[in-house]
Structure 1
Amino acid sequence: MKKNYKMKKTISMKMFINEFGENFSEHMKSRLLELEVRSVLTRKEDEYRLDIKHVEHTQHDFDNLQKEYVYGEFLVIDDSLYFSDKCIENNYVIQAPIVDTIYNNLSSDGIILDGDNKAKKIDDNNIDYIVDTLLTVFPDVTQSYLNIISEMISHERN
């Protein structure tokens, strides 16, 4: 695992794979990269625990509060990738209903982490289900976002 001097709190899927994916299969890396355009990963104090969010941080109304959905949580432990049964929830973010669906449909062995928090291993047998399911619930990105990305890419090439 590569160490950053100062841990980045928000990273792209490419950065995630670069940081943690040394032992991921090529198939897993390829499928995870399909989430690149519409997702971003955020983390707090634990560098190995990353929440999956929409890249535009779309807000939804919950009990008169604007909150962002968290579509899952990846954990990387001993060079293996896991999907957690719970995500961070607070005044700003709320766990999307799809998290329970994905977690409950994974047949891989569960592990216990941090008390009540459980996670199941992600591998070549279930990565397709996870990515395909996430892609069904992620909102499309807006045209203005695509324009910004297109502009950034054109400047990188020059």
Structure 2
Amino acid sequence: MRKNYKMKKTISMKRFLSEFGQDFSDNVKNRLLDLEIRSVLTRDDNSNILDIKHVEHTKYPCPSTLEGATKKSEKEYAYGQLVVVDGSLYFTDKCFENEEVMQSPIVDSIYNSLNSEDTLLEGDITGKKVDDSNIDYIIDTLLKACPQVSKEYMEIMKDILFGEEIKSPHKSIS
């Protein structure tokens, strides 16, 4: 029997690893999890192409793309794009951009610093392989660029993660 389900467009790093990480090394998995609290991954129709965004979807000023316009708008940053092809993880040279999302300057910096070869992945997407030799640099650089979460967000997460344990006066009986 075939399962029909709607693909989630926004997922956590843990979900990403459960969907695609079976062939990643333990080191790559652990380092990717360092992004868990700060980031979410978003995708369109291609389940294996995901942009890294701040979990709070913080907006930044950006110049208007309209010619002659002096008005500035605000957009959210995409801090990188991950693509999984045949069990291998790649960091791409471009992120998905639209009227609400712009590519962070850190993407070019990370991509150009990677020593692996450019690989044409899908369509016109070019990426460099992520492995144990470069994962530390990628994650450390992303952690410097991607802001910490707000105190308000941390409080919400604490309530979600630990709220039932704290609020429930009854212990479960096994």
TM-score range, shorter chain: over 0.9
Q: Which runs of 5+ in 2 are unaligned?
A: 64-71, 169-174
Which residue of structure 2 aligns with residue 32 of structure 1? 32
Q: Deviations over 1:16-52 (max 9, x none)?
A: 0011000111101100000001011000111000000
**For each residue in 1:66-124, what CA deviation from the matched residue of structure 2 results, as whole angstroms up to 9, or x when unmatched?**
10000000000001100000001110000000000000011112211344421000001
Q: Where do 5+ consecutive residues of structure 1 fail to align?
A: none
CA contact 2:85–2:121 (8 Å) conserved in 1: no
Q: Structure 1 runs of 4+ off > 6 angstroms?
A: none
Q: Distance in 2 between matches of 1:14 and 1:4?
A: 22
Q: Deviation of residue 127 (structure 1)?
A: 0.4
Match of residue 71, structure 1, among 72, 76, 79 = 79
1:131 aligns with 2:117: no
Looking at structure 2, the residues matched to 74 and 111 of structure 1 have their Cα atoms a distance apart, in angstroms, of: 13
Are 1:94 and 2:102 matched, yes or no? Answer: yes
Q: Aligned equivalents of 2:55 and 2:163: distance in 1?
A: 20
Does residue 1:107 correspond to 2:115, yes or no?
yes
1:114-153 alignment, distance < 5 Å: 114-153=122-161
Q: TM-score, normalised by structure 2?
A: 0.85
Q: 1:151 to 1:85 in 2, by over 3 A?
A: same
Aligned to 2:58: 58
TM-score (norm 1): 0.94
Q: CA RMSD in A?
A: 1.5
Is 1:9 the equivalent of 2:9? yes
